Structure 1
């Protein structure tokens, strides 16, 4: 395997491995207990499998994620893709990474005052902008230097988890008692990696193009290889971090996954553990934030024609301002939005690989996305706290609704109706429009 593919694969791992990747697997582990392996399998499907598919899907088109969404309708493509980039970028993804980095790397040694958060985020985002201002050099900076250091710190922590934590695994909590696989699947939404992959795809493709790969076939093959490298790393880390969580169930109660990891690091390594965890969190959140600034900057530069460096500066400043609102505020708003857009992104990604079955018909795309959107909008409003008892009474009849996957059957029905309309009109999209 070529050195460039390995370096880009390492970069992709570092871009994916951010705040959510750190805090959610330990929580899953501590809550799932003896049902851990089924739960982590579901988590890996949405946290690793779908992101790799999404990156590969981007490599199969000429431009970026908007080209995939345009297959529904150009207006939908512009709006939905913009919402995705804003969600994973300046509104939620980047600020969450910065605040998690503060709470797990610096806060244990200082206080939780807004002024300390202000100082930390000022320095954090200054370096994020410096690295992101030149995207071509970012690949080497992250892939060659930061990722190996990040992996080394993670390996030390994970080895300690397997050999230095000897508590027995507890019974699963209520959340994972019945359907751990499906519950883990939905929990994988919170990493944001499947929708982040729609943004990171353009970085990976451009990195390969900068290295002389131009044919679509070779781009897809190289992207898939880099994705597999990143995927193996992510699965290994998720499984290890989650296993640490299972071993910490008897150590007391914890507020979140960050607390679980902090407690485990202290049990295993004492004060050195806090420093080690700080290195992991700082590097993970920094690389992810940098990648998201670059991806957002490149997308909105293409969309608007505005200079990349100015857009990158605006994304950085907006992220900086929102990060100073605190992690709890960011999470409380981001979860409902992710609940709404994630199923739509999943259906769009999967249909990209299945479109040969229906000739790439826009009607099939529209039917599936429309029906998915109805259900995911309901789920998002419920997460926001909107009460809709009459609608809920109807939604409860949907298969898989209790697992948070009520959108699956409506998506299939919508796609089928679109296919029937296509067959009736005999008007498939010409092959040249699919390229």
Structure 2
């Protein structure tokens, strides 16, 4: 029976890590570190749960069912599962995450060097998505392209930045903003959503499994084992990156106290620490990180939609790259502003789906449990989404002041209550008739 060599397993882990680490992973932790101040490590704990723990668990959950998201979502039915998959793929694909990789890499890395103009953004994004298009045409070679070449370069650049964050801090840790003084853990937890890593894991699962299969591995047991190892390698790498960037942000109060976002914190720190060539270093780092993630997202989306639409993989790669190019030229500010409420709404049911997939043996019927819990988490996630979009005044008072609502976790308590009710009903109803026949 064919097995992967040690160097192939390491390359697979590097590829998985590189697929996850995009622009959002690099720009959100610094602002959390800056704003959390002395509470940075409590905020980091919450952030690491949603930005590292959940993605790794999602990779494991997908590996157990063969990598495809529709297999994971089977308890909620084919239509609902297909709708959820389409929303997740579109969110982390051409609507938000893929265009964001281009706009962030431009605005953080290149705009300070060549100017922030619509023409410059268009020319950069056109070249950027042309590269994404060509690399994505050959998904079978993704392990070689990303795992053996692009990922090591990306890791070296991130390691240099991480070492500088600890060895060359810009100053002392500053004071925390009021929201981090009140609830540092939950603030970090919610900010972890913005990396889109859990949604990304739902999308990347099939890419990771296909990369394993491209090496001739067909055994489901081995595929699951290698995917789990790859997820763990990626998780360790993500945790190290985040811890370094939290430290970078927390120690940048003296030079970046007025920064309004993580991109600004990062840019100021790099220029302060590395001098004149700092902007060039940052441009290469961000562009490389974003390009790898964009390729992974494009491959995954094309792979999925080629199975549910009458279009070929190569045609979809071209359409996805072209659409992402158009959306990216709307600008980073509009993209982030629109994505926050959408992510806040769709994250809770995805978390519920992944968590409950590990408990299938505890009840008689998965649909009885998974479907109602996901529905409740979606409905109350939309409450948080409306508040995040500044539309909280539309909500009734009873919904606006739910437990944990101020922490952006209004969905959690109702979902747990629904889970208890569903489990009791499952026990009362017993095994479905089909199972007893």
Tell me the TM-score normalised to structure 1 length.
0.95
Which residue matches 1:357?
Answer: 362
Q: Give the total of aligned pairs.
A: 431
Provide the rounded CA distance (Å) in 2 between the counterparts of 1:172 and 1:73.
Answer: 46
Alignment match of 1:145 (pick from 144, 149, 172): 149
**1:26/1:242 contact within 8 Å kept:** yes
Which residue matches 1:299?
Answer: 304
Partner SS, residue 172 of structure 1:
coil
Moved over 3 A (4+): 387-390, 427-432
Cα deviation, residue 238, structure 1: 0.6
Alignment match of 1:267 (pick from 272, 276, 290): 272
Which residue matches 1:40?
Answer: 44
Which residue matches 1:101?
Answer: 105
Cα deviation, residue 397, structure 1: 4.9
User: How has the CA–CA distance of structure 1 residues 166 and 123 changed in structure 2, closer, same or farther, with 3 Å as cutoff?
Assistant: closer
Provide the rounded CA distance (Å) in 2 between the counterparts of 1:296 and 1:166.
Answer: 41
Which residue matches 2:159?
Answer: 155
Deviation string, structure 1 residues 350-391 (Cα, Å, up to 9, x no partner) = 011122212442011111011111101122223233344552
* In the alignment, structure 1 residue 84 sits paired with structure 2 residue 88: yes
* In the alignment, structure 1 residue 68 sits paired with structure 2 residue 80: no
Cα deviation, residue 63, structure 1: 5.3
Which residue matches 2:122?
Answer: 118
Cα deviation, residue 416, structure 1: 2.4
**1:28/1:242 contact within 8 Å kept:** yes
Deviation string, structure 1 residues 389-414 (Cα, Å, up to 9, x no partner) = 552x2135533222111211211222
Provide the rounded CA distance (Å) in 2 between the counterparts of 1:135 and 1:401.
Answer: 42
**1:362/1:429 contact within 8 Å kept:** no
* In the alignment, structure 1 residue 344 sits paired with structure 2 residue 349: yes
* In the alignment, structure 1 residue 52 sits paired with structure 2 residue 31: no
Provide the rounded CA distance (Å) in 2 between the counterparts of 1:390 and 1:47.
Answer: 29
Cα deviation, residue 305, structure 1: 4.2
User: How has the CA–CA distance of structure 1 residues 106 and 5 changed in structure 2, closer, same or farther, with 3 Å as cutoff?
Assistant: same
User: How has the CA–CA distance of structure 1 residues 361 and 103 changed in structure 2, closer, same or farther, with 3 Å as cutoff?
Assistant: same
User: How has the CA–CA distance of structure 1 residues 390 and 54 changed in structure 2, closer, same or farther, with 3 Å as cutoff?
Assistant: closer
Which residue matches 1:373?
Answer: 378
* In the alignment, structure 1 residue 176 sits paired with structure 2 residue 180: yes
Which residue matches 1:279?
Answer: 284
Provide the rounded CA distance (Å) in 1 between the counterparts of 2:288 and 2:434.
Answer: 46
Provide the rounded CA distance (Å) in 2 between the counterparts of 1:179 and 1:86.
Answer: 32
**Which has the higher mean CA deviation after the structures are superposed, 169-178 or 282-291?**
169-178
**1:70/1:78 contact within 8 Å kept:** no
Provide the rounded CA distance (Å) in 1 between the counterparts of 2:434 and 2:202.
Answer: 25
Provide the rounded CA distance (Å) in 2 between the counterparts of 1:431 and 1:14.
Answer: 43
Which residue matches 1:211?
Answer: 215
* 5+ long unaligned stretches in structure 2: none
Alignment match of 2:403 (pick from 399, 404, 408): 399
**Which has the higher mean CA deviation after the structures are superposed, 409-418 or 422-431?**
422-431
**1:61/1:67 contact within 8 Å kept:** yes
Tell me the TM-score normalised to structure 2 length.
0.95
* In the alignment, structure 1 residue 21 sits paired with structure 2 residue 25: yes
Cα deviation, residue 249, structure 1: 1.1
Which residue matches 1:5?
Answer: 9
* In the alignment, structure 1 residue 323 sits paired with structure 2 residue 355: no
Provide the rounded CA distance (Å) in 2 between the counterparts of 1:86 and 1:45.
Answer: 24
* In the alignment, structure 1 residue 245 sits paired with structure 2 residue 228: no
Root mean square deviation, CA, Å: 1.7
Which residue matches 2:316?
Answer: 311
**1:297/1:315 contact within 8 Å kept:** yes
**1:367/1:417 contact within 8 Å kept:** no
